[in-house]
Amino acid sequence: MHYIKLNDGHEIPVLGFGTYKAKEEEGIVAVQEALQAGYRLLDTAAKYENEEHVGKGIQKSGIPREEVIITTKLWRENLGYEETKMAFEKSLKKLAVDYIDLYLIHWPANAKNYANWQQANADAWRVMEDLQAQGKIKSIGVSNFWPEHLEALLQTTRVVPAINQIEFHPGYWQPEVVSFCRSHGIAIQSWSPLARGKVFGNPVLESIALKHGKTVSQVCLRWVLQHDAIVIPKSTTLARIQENLLIFDFNLSEQDMHAIDSLPEMGFSGELPNEWPDRV
Ligand SMILES: NC(=O)c1ccc[n+]([C@@H]2O[C@H](COP(=O)([O-])OP(=O)(O)OC[C@H]3O[C@@H](n4cnc5c(N)ncnc54)[C@H](OP(=O)(O)O)[C@@H]3O)[C@@H](O)[C@H]2O)c1
């Protein structure tokens, strides 16, 4: 597994395992299989209602907890000082661990749904900074933050976010957000790297995959890595869990990268950070 160093000095794998919609027994087994296949970075969230299953999958895998980088997220309705503290404790309990490796604000409070959205994000962040100082969280970051949300947050932060996890896949990869984050030392993590399956059947991706003797999924994941971003595909199918690991033995050319970068919009979730959801 390849690792990258975050702005806080911690190292995390460039390839991780997504768990959205992987719940109950299916989720437990998928996490167990992913760890046994070689993944060491897991991505869950309080909102996914599967932290318990992810925790059980880790225990069942037999991989020592300290070898696993666990990401979980604070849901937008729990922003605020006391709420963040409580939500964090709940996540720890559900995952059955005593620290979190990477804790993210899942969605920014925004002007559409919080009277003082800047304060709501800043209050949550202050708690996360304190928890990090106490050793309960190793790295802190955000998700779905646009430059406007980051600029506001950076006014009051002691710690610059280590990561911004954003929608990033062929057909929707937010280059402006990426370059803003780069210029502030914030690593990019790509969610829905396969656009939840909507990348399949695209002729450009298929021809690049054919040329390299790889699958469309592997090409999409490799493309994310070559953008120096971290990638967290989800699958509950063992063969695909394994397939998605095999992305370190080939290189996309500059032309391949450009062809994928230039694909027209495809598979966008429709979830805009400054508008969605429109109420708390
Ligand atoms: N921060 C956020 O707001 C946010 C939002 C969305 C997602 N995420 C995170 O990012 C992770 C990944 O995103 P995602 O789950 O939305 O979508 P995704 O990883 O782009 O796509 C998952 C879908 O692709 C299928 N798939 C996976 N590998 C495949 C392969 N090799 N060949 C064919 N099909 C394949 C899976 O099917 P099977 O499972 O049936 O195999 C599943 O239906 C999530 O699980 C979650 O952890 C974060």
pLDDT range class, residue 278, cuts 50, 70, 90: low
Which atom of ligand 1 has the smallest separation from the CA of 240? 31
163 in contact with ligand 1, CB cutoff 6 A: no
277 in contact with ligand 1, CB cutoff 6 A: no
217 in contact with ligand 1, CB cutoff 6 A: yes
Query: Would residue 259 count as lying in a domain?
Result: no
Domain count of the fold of the chain: 1
244 in contact with ligand 1, CB cutoff 6 A: yes
pLDDT of residue 112: 86
pLDDT of residue 185: 98
Three-class SS state of 240: helix
**Is 48 among the catalytic positions?**
yes
Residues in the chain: 280
Query: Would residue 156 count as lying in a domain?
Result: yes
Is 175 buried (19+), middle (13-18) or exposed (0-12) by CB count in 10 A?
Answer: exposed
What is the CA(194)–ligand 1 centre distance, in A? 6
The two tokens of residue 117 are 């959205």
pLDDT of residue 206: 98
Query: Would residue 266 count as lying in a domain?
Result: no
Query: Would residue 252 count as lying in a domain?
Result: no
Query: Would residue 246 count as lying in a domain?
Result: no
> Ligand 1 test: best mutation among 143, 191, 232, most atoms within 8 Å of CB?
191
Quote the domain boundaries for residue 76: 3-195+230-237
Alpha-carbon span 3 to 250, nearest angstrom? 17
pLDDT 10s digits, 141-176: 999 999 999 999 999 999 999 999 999 999 999 999
Query: Would residue 185 count as lying in a domain?
Result: yes
Query: Would residue 73 count as lying in a domain?
Result: yes
Query: Would residue 48 count as lying in a domain?
Result: yes
Q: Which of 3, 20, 48, 99 is catalytic?
A: 48
pLDDT 10s digits, 79-89: 989 999 999 99
pLDDT 10s digits, 3-15: 999 999 999 999 9
Mean pLDDT over each residue of the chain, to the nearest integer: 96
Closest by CA to 108, choosing from 86, 76, 72, 132, is: 76
Alpha-carbon span 229 to 177, nearest angstrom? 12
Alpha-carbon span 270 to 54, nearest angstrom? 27
pLDDT range class, residue 276, cuts 50, 70, 90: confident
pLDDT of residue 280: 46
pLDDT 10s digits, 73-117: 999 989 989 999 999 999 999 999 999 999 999 999 988 888 899
Spatial contact of 260 and 170, defined as CB atoms under 8 Å apart: yes
Give the CATH number of the domain where residue 152 resides: 3.20.20.100
